[in-house]
Amino acid sequence: MEKPVPYKTIFQINYKPELKFYDLLIPSAQRLDEYPHWRTDVRTVILRDYDKHCSIIIGHKSFAYEQDSEDTDMEIKYIQRALEELPSSLQIEIFNRFGYRRKYLINVKMSFESLVSILHVKLFSQDAKLRNILPPHVEDLMYRLDFSDKPYRYHVTVGPVHKAEMPRYINYNLENHLDPQVREEEYKKIIENYPKVAVFIDIDFYQEGDKLKKDESTSFLKTARAKINEFANDLTEYLFNIELEA
């Protein structure tokens, strides 16, 4: 059984906009000197690393780290750096949203039609009355749900995807994560390496509140990683476990 592979990670913190932000923006961005490339439109600064396929955008009401890579060690290091530097340099003490999102692909060795059949049985009701109402052949599907585990909430999407669909679902950040001089060639290589058929899992985990504090962001991040990893692995095992229960 293949393991879920994280193809994209996004971590975002939202806060109340204040006018002083514009005086603090550039000095704050300079603290994150591990990013070799940058761009600014005065209202935001985008720091980029084309080799590591990651970036951080610092704006007047949020900052967000994004990574198109399965390197979880790098993600931990870069997000932690942002949390250590940006809240204090931007003089932010209170936040209103923490968000952590991962997009996975599970490579499968079967046809798309077979995968659709498995997900249909595993994720949707097989009640006879319902099946009699619906047409007999399911060609495609997408499973979406929102749920909560206070103080946290989730948006979850699960579905089968063809190789041709994967770029749309993964949504690779071409502008910020690939060198413009070789962008087209590099992106072709990336999409060529996508599996032929896969399960797509998108888990958006977040916490909202009027007075979230900086120290809560660290505990949120730890919880988010643990819960999302557990969810993705447990879901994979559930979907492809063929043992019959007694």
Q: Residue 15's CB: how many other CB atoms inside 10 A?
A: 20
Contact of 160 with 119, CB cutoff 8 Å: yes
CA distance 53 to 170: 14
Give the model's pLDDT for residue 120.
92
96-136 pLDDT per residue, tens: 999 999 999 999 999 999 999 999 999 987 878 877 777 77
pTM: 0.93
Q: Residue 171's CB: how many other CB atoms inside 10 A?
A: 15
Contact of 148 with 205, CB cutoff 8 Å: no
- What is the mean predicted confidence (pLDDT) over 75-104? 96
Would you place residue 246 in the very low, low, confident or very high pLDDT band (cuts 50, 70, 90)?
very low
126-184 pLDDT per residue, tens: 878 877 777 778 888 999 999 999 999 999 999 999 999 999 999 999 999 999 999 99
Going 171 to 175 to 176 to 177, the CA torsion angle's sign is positive
33-55 pLDDT per residue, tens: 999 999 999 889 999 999 999 99
CA distance 202 to 45: 27
Q: Please, what's the b/e burial string for 64-93 (b: 16 or more CB within 10 A of its CB; e: otherwise)?
A: bbbbbeeeeebbeebbeebbeebbebbebe
194-223 pLDDT per residue, tens: 999 999 999 999 999 999 998 899 999 999
Give the model's pLDDT for residue 243.
54
